[in-house]
Amino acid sequence: MFPRAAYVSLVTKTEYLPGILVVDHCLKSVGSRYPLVVMVTPTLPEEARNVLARRGIAMREVERLSPRAGSHKLAAHDARFDDTWTKLRAFSLIEYERVVLMDSDMIVRRNMDELMTLDLPRGWIAAAHACACNPRKLKHYPSDWIPENCAYTPLSHPSALTNPTPITDSSPRPYRLLNSGTVVLSPSEEVMRDITNFLHTSPLVATFSFPDQDLLSEFFKGRWKPLPWCYNALKTLRIIHKPLWRDEEIRCLHYILHDKPWHRRIGAEGADEQYEDMHKWWWDMFDEVARDMQKSDPAGWQLVSAQVARA
């Protein structure tokens, strides 16, 4: 029996329309049996909602979620994370038994519906590790974010596909940190209430560098199951963790870092060449969406195309 389940993402601004439309297209292309449900906040304009509706994408209205005023400050470099606390509203979608929470800067390359029936203890989540290498040497990142402390460093193909690095009492602290690009969870009013209370009262919130994923790492400490890298294939892993990476094994590719695929065309000046192949994969999917929308929804296409870099 298949559970009542959905892939869920958050869209708060029109500029993320290209990303979420590509996610939806990818899920349908790989034959997923589960829908994409998009959480939207009051900040998302009606014209953007109409585009989602005409693409047949279900929406759920949610209120913005954030710490109490003055209790948390993001580094200027990471100001884009200001809305991401609201992703945690996925725990409130109790009409579903299982949710796979996804970011909108992703593409799905292989069916991953098996996550909907992944065995999880009650009150647990599953997610892939954060990469703690800090290759750009950003000064505001934690000082223990070094390759020696990264949970991906010990891994290699093919065992990395089935045996993510375990978390033990002696593991380096970064092993206990997840990346929230893909999170497998079971919605619950009780858990949603407890997360909200934690966000609003815990003194640890002030220390979080990566809003929602630091909160999830702390709140579910000892209660999150590591997923193999392929379900949240951080694009940087292809460069800095080559022993584990195989293009053909990717289920879901995550375009982390500030430079999203739709911000720059392939071959454009200033592009980071080491990521161009992967960014082209996104543009290939977007071009398929474009061809369809130009015929089926010209007005919507005009809005969506305005959010991407010009050719």
Q: What is the per-residue pLDDT for 79?
A: 44
Q: What is the per-residue pLDDT for 76?
A: 44
pLDDT digit string (tens) for 49-89?
999 999 999 999 999 998 876 555 555 444 445 688 999 99
Helix, strand, coil % in the chain, rounded to nearest 5: 40, 15, 45
Q: What is the dihedral of CA 12, 15, 17, 19, to 10 degrees?
A: -100
Look up the domain containing 193 and give its range: 5-130+178-305
Mean pLDDT of 227-244: 98
pLDDT greater than 70 at residue 126 = yes
Residue 231 DSSP symbol: G
| CATH number of the domain residue 50 falls in | 3.90.550.10
Q: What is the per-residue pLDDT for 78?
A: 42
Q: What is the per-residue pLDDT for 82?
A: 63
In a domain, 140, yes or no: no
pLDDT digit string (tens) for 133-170?
998 888 888 899 999 999 999 999 999 999 999 999 99
Cα separation of 34 and 101, whole Å?
Answer: 13
Task: Output the six-digit token pair for 269.
Answer: 């000046």
Confidence at 227, pLDDT banded by 50, 70, 90: very high
The mean pLDDT of the chain is: 93
The rounded percent of the chain whose pLDDT value lies above 70 is 95
Cα separation of 192 and 91, whole Å?
Answer: 5
In a domain, 227, yes or no: yes
Q: What is the per-residue pLDDT for 119?
A: 96
In a domain, 173, yes or no: no
Residue 160 DSSP symbol: G
Cα separation of 113 and 6, whole Å?
Answer: 10
Least confident of 72-81, 96-105, 184-193: 72-81
The total number of structural domains that make up the chain: 1
Q: What is the per-residue pLDDT for 70?
A: 52
pLDDT digit string (tens) for 265-303?
999 988 889 999 999 999 999 999 999 999 999 999 999
In a domain, 70, yes or no: yes
Which segments of 114-208 does DSSP mark as H helices, in order? 189-201
pLDDT greater than 80 at residue 10 = yes
In a domain, 268, yes or no: yes
Task: Output the six-digit token pair for 125.
Answer: 């989540």
Confidence at 197, pLDDT banded by 50, 70, 90: very high
In a domain, 244, yes or no: yes
In a domain, 41, yes or no: yes
Cα separation of 80 and 216, whole Å?
Answer: 18
Mean pLDDT of 173-202: 96
Cα separation of 67 and 7, whole Å?
Answer: 25
